[in-house]
Structure 1
Amino acid sequence: MTSEKSLPPAPQRDSMFFEDVYGLDTTIRQSVFPSTLYEPGSEPGPSALYRRDTVVTEAPRYSELGHDGDGPSTQLETTRRTSMSYGYPEKQSQETRPINERTMSDERDRRTMDMIPETEQMPRATRPRQRIVLDDPPTGNDFNNGDDEYEDVPEDSLNEVRQYSNRATEQEIVLPSMPKRRSNLEIKNKDMKQLSKILKKEANAEVQLLKRTIKELDGLQKTLKPASTAEEAALAAYAKAAKAELKLNKIYLQAKAKWEIANAELTAKTEELSIARDRASQQKHQIQEKTREVERLRSRKTEGDYERVIKISTARTASK
């Protein structure tokens, strides 16, 4: 029977990576942090962090790998990379998590969302620079969470971690002095108060306008009765005048008919008179002509009679 050699437990590591947002080389590669140091949303900042959540599962038996025997029951670790916005996680992701998995940092993240300045609502590439704050990393074997023979932390990585720790201290000094923004609830309450005031003012203005309009309507109704009385009097006078005009119009029409008949008769008589005058004028002219002719003939007769008398007397004288 083959002897089974027990394998040491695999070290559990939580690696943390920084996303290069501004194009700077701010990535910490293969830096080992214990999971207790990382609190999502504990410090504000524009960088996006990727957390490797350690999931411990039981290693398969040797028999499952093709070896003889069951083999030791060891634990292997698998990592799951999670992308999050460091300092400003989405509320939906916090609220959809189970209650037993929520921490104080989740509540602090929820309060932080209410105090996000307008610059943080801008696209990530256009936001102003902000510092990334991390807690002090532990040292020694606790940092590895295992023996030294499995992991040696480079000195450069430790120096980078110390730099971030110093920046965290500076950020803790700067953050308390920053004015806190009011929560969305306070802003909503203030907006509701302002809205209620505006609505009350509008309601009062409408009431005043309605009262003023009703008062004007009352004044117009008071002047309506005299206007109606005057209209009735004018209507009666109009009816009387129309009746008189109708009566006289009938008389006028009858007289006009008689006048038209008389006028036509007068026109006819005028024409007859003109004809009679023309005829009388002609007769008078003829009479005058005849009268002149009679006078001429009478004058000739007188002269002839005188000449004949002279001739007769001359003849008588000559005969004696």
Structure 2
Amino acid sequence: MKYIQHSSNLGEYMPVFFQMYLKVDGKIDLNSCLDRDFALFFHEYIHFLQDLTTTYGLTQCFYYGEYIQAAVNDIYKHDKGKFTIPIRYDEPAHHVKIADVITDTTMGDCNSDANEFNVVNVALDFIDNLPINCPEISHIYVVDVEPREGDFFSFGAYAIKESIAYIMERLVTKNYERSPEFPYCSAEKIVEYVFPELGKDILNVLALCDISLMFSNPAEVFYTTLIQLKRKKYIPNKPHDLYAQLKNAKVGSHGNLTGPFSHYKMVAEEARKKFESYFSIQMNNLKYIKHIMNG
């Protein structure tokens, strides 16, 4: 899974292995580079932070580690190291297959021709015919968006992450490159449709996106929280006040209910073990990653 901006002169960030590719001429000096180049770097760096400072991001890191562990164990089972690639796990009960299905479903659509759109309808739906054998997961909620009559896309974690990065890019830099409205303006468009008063301050949209990434299904949390705010007619005095919505939230973890921040710490610890065991990361980078996760 990787975040790819569709314009030919934008960038790409591949999570877990913490590698960025910036399509710029020559070396990049962040202290003296062009605004456009800095905007590119900043956008991708936001994705880097999303993978380390959110529960959803760290869960994906953990899933990568699970896949690598399973693949390595299978490779050792083959005579003289002979094996075919890609190594796939299609058994419905295999934990890697289950993780793949959860990720693909909650990530939502990554491509759409909705370069410019106005939301016609938004609905919370669920998928219950999942190709997995996992009694604990009978269905996964999805947010269906109709950008024009008869056309749909699934609003998920991918669009939420890109919405955050694009909002930040526009707030921090002057000469950013305009991106397609899907996925980069998806969150703003949904807020504008459901509860336009909240969206008058773009930082409210940013906070709502950020909050949603502290859960396993960000789009579900984004939409249900937005509906609750609308019903209460709640407009925060400042965007940071929206984080108070997390105080009473509960997350299922190993059969128990816990707060989202406690859950984040548990997921971070499991992800940290994967970093140290399976990923080739230089020690200085690992120290930096731990510092961010503990911050």
TM-score (norm 2): 0.25
Larger Rg: 1
Kindly indicate whether structure 1 or structure 2 has the higher relative contact order, using CA contacts under 8 Å at least 6 residues apart: 2
TM-score (norm 1): 0.24
More helix by share: 1
